Amino acid sequence: MHGLIAGLDRNMLQPSTRPFGTFNDSGTPCNPDDGDCTLSDADLARRPFSALGDYMAQYGNFGHGRSNALQIEALRRFSGGLSFEIAYTLLDQKTTALDTGNASLGGPGYNQFQPELDYSRDSFVSRHRLTFYGIWDTRFGRGKTYGKNMPKALDAIVGGWQLTWNGFVKSGTGFTPYWTCDNCDPVWPGNIGSSFIDAVGDFNNTSFRPLVNGNPNVRSGDRFWDPAVFAAPSVGADLFSNPNAATRNFLLGPSTWGVNLGVQKRFALGERVRAALGADFNNLFNHPLVASTDTSFANLGSFSLDVDPKTGALLPITRISRNPDFGRLINSFAQDGIDSRRAVRLRLRITW
């Protein structure tokens, strides 16, 4: 795949330790909490286009990717009262452009200076996926293989039933953990001077990827990842290049599965009238479908910046407010034709 759409900010600065926007109008270090931080003429002159402001977004065909798949299918055409299909896909799909699914523009690249570092698993992609469906006219009843001479009264109860089913099993999709900032603008981590930075690429918030200090894949109760291993981002020149920084979609969400079942029996009421009595069981096993594409699932919380009152340099982030629901899925989501919880529908159809 070539020419995938991605965005960048032409006025973003390379991350550095050189203060940007950290002084107030009187020339002394500002306090981001007080909202007195301003951009001096010297700050504006550092931008590539000094006469223009923040968020000078440009979209273009900067991205590329590849998709490798193995597909296996077993199919039985309707014969002897039975038809079914089972299909399995093993998929490895990676790109440098963010496919967020909610914009024709694609998403803003996180590290526009080294976009190749974001060459990783695509969003919304399950590596393993199995789907199946089928129909079976049972061989019990008058004129069938078994019980073909049974009494009509018994045949009305146990004979001539038809079963249909469909379902899926799939592995989890990738997620990117992220922080938002409570007091940024015009001060930003890394002194980049731009709010056009999105850890996920979904246009929801200006956000930053965390530092990772341990194994996040420790499940506890309804929480799928350990929030304690995620720290606030760097505020210096290694904002994008820190080796401990989280990479795109490196967290794997939960897998899930679901099954629907239909039961139907046909009756002949004389020569011209036909009746069909049935029931449809959506999410037959009432299995919670916790797999999600909602990026808020990976929201770590927010942080606040502090400025050195003597030098105006950004201080390491120490003030954070964690999202108590990070990595926690307590709701079931309807997907792939399966309802979020068991639902039963009874039906009667008469044809004449």
pLDDT at residue 296, rounded to an integer:
83
Q: What are the structure tokens assigned to 168, written together?
A: 């899926």
Strands (E), 189-332: 207-208, 211-212, 230-231, 251-252, 256-269, 273-282, 299-304, 319-322
Which H helix or E strand runs over 107? strand 107-108
Q: 3-class SS at 29?
A: strand
According to DSSP, the residues that pair with 274 across neighbouring strands are 268, 351
pLDDT at residue 97, rounded to an integer:
78
Taking 50 as the pLDDT cut, the residues of the chain under it are none
Q: What are the structure tokens assigned to 133, written together?
A: 């469906």
**230-255 pLDDT, tens digit each:** 999 999 999 999 999 999 999 999 99
Integer angstrom CA distances of residue 199 from 210, 266, 324: 9, 56, 20
pLDDT at residue 100, rounded to an integer:
57
